[in-house]
Structure 1
Amino acid sequence: MPSPHETPAGDSGDSGRPVLLHGLRLIDGTGSAPVPDAALLIEGSVIRWAGPAAQLPVDLGPPTRLDLGGRTVCPGFIDTHVHFALPGPAGNPLQGLLELPSYRTLKVLDRLRVTLENGVTTARDLMGLDAGFRQAVAERRIPGPRLLVSVTMISQRAGHADFTLAGGIDGLAVAVTFPESPRSLVGSVDDMRARVRDLVAAGADCVKLASSGGVTSPHDRPEWLGLRPEMIRAAVEEAQAYGGLPVAAHAIGRPGIEAAVHGGVTSIEHGYALDDELRAEMVARGQYLVPTLLETTQDLDPARTSPSAYEKGVRWHRIAQESVARSASAGVRMAMGTDSGLAVGHGRNLQELGLLVDIAGLTPMEAIVAATGDAARLCGVDEVTGTLVAGRAADLVVTDVDPLSDIASLGESAHILAVVKEGRIAVDRAGVLGDGVLPALCP
């Protein structure tokens, strides 16, 4: 099975003569101060050099030069919590019950494309997509962010992954995940260990657990414990044994958060009911919080959801917004995630950056790092992407705004002038990358 970071078969990664982008303002994703007169050398799919233009080594050869006219260049952004198999607010997730998997696949392709073109060059799908989508993106058969997939989400019966309908149909298996994906529900520690191994065999890059109930799930509530602590510990042990896969825990209410934190998960997704005791433990353990603030600003449509789900959403979204700033102040590490696909439409991912500043209280630079360098570390791809330094993939975004003074504008497509992934142009709305200087991502 190909790695999500693998150069397509038959492609050496060298797309021609090196290209020097200059006349740019560089924000490199490390948290360092921006470089006002910078240059960035792309050779094939990787960055060969980046830094102040005056320090460009003279022995790098005569590259093709491209002046960006003072525009800002950031790393390609990383969304650590998306659901490409879900349609967003424009559709109903259960519509998939009436559709062939092939038709659902074609709808996913458009969601991948629009997400990439709006600045996300890497995305972690935390339930829905199988490893075939990752392979197709890696081979450049379809445009999309570099994909990491959990394949499905694991919970117990009457937990957040239990969408069994009244007639006995497993709605999650039929309408959201794809054929041959391992099922979501487990009933014992042994079941959990076996299911994690099933996911490893299916090519999962991470394990997604539902340690608490949820808002949209029909049989539970966020304050309920969604997996027993011994089951969470078993999942973490198995994931560690199989290459150290990260474990992400959907955890909203305190019992689910506590079980996940104590169980040693890598990240808490949502984390709305965090308290100071658990925050301190997360800091000590180096665990991440993915607060999915954009999702909390989008209350469910009461015409499309049950009264119970609507009520749960309104209540818990308010709790989330009151909690996240305290988590940031306590020093909990954060990574950007949006939960796109449910109440959030695809392609709006970078609106999360402004919320990390306005609601969580991060500085604009901290928000950028949460969506680049730190997000890459959480996902285990920091040796591949997340920062604009030599040796990393040439994943970058060109914008006409200063994100450090107007970060919310990155959430508007008009300000994402161009997106480059692995040295290839995914979109160039303003023609800033010249004609044929860099190759197209999917010719």
Structure 2
Amino acid sequence: MKRSTARAERTTVNGSPVVLHNARLIDGTGAPPVVDGALVVDGPRIGWCGPAEHLPDGPELRGAVRVDLGGRTVCPGFFDVHVHFALPGPAGSPAAGVGEPVSYRVLKVLDRLRTTLHNGVTTARDLMGIDAGFRRAVAERRVEGPRLLVAVAMLSQTAGHADFRLPGGLDGLEAAVALPGSPGNIVDTVDEIRARVRALVAAGADCVKLATSGGVTSPHDRPEWLGLRPEMVRAAVEEAAAYGGLPVAVHAIGEAGIAAAVRSGVASIEHGYALTDELRAEMAARGQFLVPTLLETMAEPDPARVPPAVYEKAVRWHRTAQESFARSVDAGVRVALGTDAGLTAPHGANLRELGLMVRFGGLTPLKAIRAATADAAELCGVADTVGSLTAGRTADLVVCGTDPLADIDSLGDPRTIHAVVKEGRVAIDRAGVLRDAGLPGLVPQR
């Protein structure tokens, strides 16, 4: 991400900074909240943040616009490090994409991006389904959405989690989700996976997504099966490190797949339902992240719409996930918020994950917020620019009408998200709290 001076990019109507005061500040680092805080938005960046009594009284703030937030809480913009914007969630069926023009599928993605941003997620990592063009369109403010990091594809071997080829010859994943020109998902040799990782780098991927275990929804496998051989995982990690130092995120549910991923040095285990104490200790020692995707486990698939085998897998493994998470937290495994939104979890409900992390993992609300902000930013490699309310960081802010430390579940209700600011620009202002701030809208009127 490019750095640029706030002075050169000031975007307020009158060119002056904006002081948000009479606010409770939760900065994302895990530090205690500042009950009577103030924050300075200076163009696209945070100019200052801290107790209101220490607010600087120098020439740089003379003429600043001052906005009283009436005791509302300000958090950093939240992350969801595991989403699938190309998938519809419970609002539809991925199979519908087979009969839709690509242009129509793209337009539906734009709506999901907007909804996710408006509900408090200012950075999202899409782990299969959209390409670098969406990232560019959001970065250029052509469309509304969270800042994007994209994996483009998900790699597994034949009969693995990325293999949705059906008996009639149709590749369900490619037909319903993939965009024309995207690198394929199936790799069966070490040489193939090396070449495919390079193709993903060429396609603009920000990270590499592998599937080392079977999955709940995939037709040919089971979560306890090894979905990608260890030598192939090691080759992918090596190539990703050599080509831009890309992190590797791994769908891994069963023990065999988790072990192959952890011991190959990946950055994050996505799901990690069957983690053992030994593997937890290894992850903690390596500093690897767990992305538990608890929200995805809260809704069972409709038995009338899925094969019996898929329904049975979902019931079993979702319970395992919920029972496993607390042991991972207790073992010191680092955690980042991800929801798998688009699969069974709905787009825009991402922050419900916070309450589930507290409920199933025993995290304090403060630690859950850190997992969704500063720690998630570290996993994504962007902690030097976003993820906390720190002077010099990008002004990504969520203004909420509740105290999330007293009621963490409230952040999952869009009505409590009173305003969202991204890069110093207002994405949504439901409560009108920023109407007098002079901050511009996110997407310019053309």
Structure 2 length-normalised TM: 0.96
- In structure 2, what is the equivalent of residue 42 of structure 1? 41
- In structure 2, what is the equivalent of residue 249 of structure 1? 250
The answer to whether residue 247 in structure 2 is matched with residue 233 in structure 1 is no
What is the CA deviation profile of residues 338-380 of structure 1, one whole-angstrom value per residue up to 9, with x for unaligned ones? 0000111100000000000011110100000000000000011
- Runs (4 or more) in structure 1 with deviation over 6 Å come to none
Counterpart among 5, 10, 15 of residue 14 in structure 1: 10
- In structure 2, what is the equivalent of residue 61 of structure 1? 61
Q: Distance in 2 between matches of 1:84 and 1:217?
A: 18
- In structure 2, what is the equivalent of residue 166 of structure 1? 167
Identity level (%): 69
Q: Any conservation in 2 of the 1:6–1:138 contact (CA below 8 Å)?
A: no
Q: Any conservation in 1 of the 2:354–2:369 contact (CA below 8 Å)?
A: yes
The answer to whether residue 305 in structure 2 is matched with residue 309 in structure 1 is no
Q: Distance in 2 between matches of 1:202 and 1:302?
A: 38
Q: Distance in 1 between matches of 2:102 and 2:334?
A: 38
Q: Any conservation in 2 of the 1:92–1:304 contact (CA below 8 Å)?
A: no
- In structure 2, what is the equivalent of residue 386 of structure 1? 387
The answer to whether residue 85 in structure 2 is matched with residue 76 in structure 1 is no
Question: What SS does the aligned partner of 2:97 have?
Answer: helix
- In structure 2, what is the equivalent of residue 335 of structure 1? 336
- Residue identity in the other structure for 1:46: R
Q: Distance in 2 between matches of 1:14 and 1:246?
A: 33
- In structure 2, what is the equivalent of residue 140 of structure 1? 141
- In structure 2, what is the equivalent of residue 95 of structure 1? 96
Where in structure 2 are the equivalents of 1:198-347 lying within 5 Å? Answer: 198-347=199-348
- In structure 1, what is the equivalent of residue 410 of structure 2? 409
- Residue identity in the other structure for 2:277: D
Question: What SS does the aligned partner of 1:314 have?
Answer: helix
Question: What SS does the aligned partner of 1:163 have?
Answer: coil
Q: Distance in 2 between matches of 1:138 and 1:110?
A: 16
Q: Distance in 2 between matches of 1:90 and 1:61?
A: 47
Q: Any conservation in 2 of the 1:27–1:34 contact (CA below 8 Å)?
A: yes
Question: What SS does the aligned partner of 1:208 have?
Answer: strand
What is the CA deviation profile of residues 62-92 of structure 1, one whole-angstrom value per residue up to 9, with x for unaligned ones? 2111110111000010000000000001211
- Residue identity in the other structure for 2:10: D
Question: What SS does the aligned partner of 2:421 have?
Answer: strand
Q: Any conservation in 1 of the 2:155–2:187 contact (CA below 8 Å)?
A: yes
Cα root mean square deviation, aligned: 1.2
- In structure 2, what is the equivalent of residue 33 of structure 1? 32
Q: Distance in 2 between matches of 1:140 and 1:302?
A: 41
Shift of 1:126: 0.3
Question: What SS does the aligned partner of 2:406 have?
Answer: coil
Q: Distance in 1 between matches of 2:25 and 2:3?
A: 26
Question: What SS does the aligned partner of 1:197 have?
Answer: helix
Shift of 1:48: 1.0
What is the CA deviation profile of residues 5-48 of structure 1, one whole-angstrom value per residue up to 9, with x for unaligned ones? 688xxx95320321111111100001101011111111111111
Question: What SS does the aligned partner of 1:40 have?
Answer: strand
Q: Distance in 2 between matches of 1:39 and 1:61?
A: 13
The answer to whether residue 429 in structure 2 is matched with residue 433 in structure 1 is no
Q: Distance in 2 between matches of 1:139 and 1:435?
A: 26
Q: Distance in 1 between matches of 2:203 and 2:385?
A: 22
Q: Any conservation in 1 of the 2:18–2:437 contact (CA below 8 Å)?
A: no
- In structure 1, what is the equivalent of residue 356 of structure 2? 355
Q: Distance in 2 between matches of 1:134 and 1:408?
A: 30
- In structure 2, what is the equivalent of residue 154 of structure 1? 155
What is the CA deviation profile of residues 230-286 of structure 1, one whole-angstrom value per residue up to 9, with x for unaligned ones? 000001011111121110000000000000000110000000000100000000000
Question: What SS does the aligned partner of 1:38 have?
Answer: strand
What is the CA deviation profile of residues 379-405 of structure 1, one whole-angstrom value per residue up to 9, with x for unaligned ones? 111111100101111001001111111
Paired residues, what number?
A: 437
Q: Distance in 2 between matches of 1:109 and 1:305?
A: 27
Shift of 1:140: 0.4
Q: Any conservation in 1 of the 2:228–2:257 contact (CA below 8 Å)?
A: yes
What is the CA deviation profile of residues 313-336 of structure 1, one whole-angstrom value per residue up to 9, with x for unaligned ones? 000000111100000011100000
- In structure 1, what is the equivalent of residue 119 of structure 2? 118
Q: Distance in 1 between matches of 2:384 and 2:299?
A: 34
Question: What SS does the aligned partner of 1:156 have?
Answer: coil
Question: What SS does the aligned partner of 1:21 have?
Answer: strand
Shift of 1:55: 1.1
Shift of 1:301: 1.4
Q: Any conservation in 1 of the 2:66–2:437 contact (CA below 8 Å)?
A: no
Question: What SS does the aligned partner of 2:389 have?
Answer: coil
Shift of 1:305: 1.4
- Residue identity in the other structure for 1:53: A
Q: Any conservation in 1 of the 2:213–2:226 contact (CA below 8 Å)?
A: yes
Q: Any conservation in 2 of the 1:47–1:388 contact (CA below 8 Å)?
A: yes
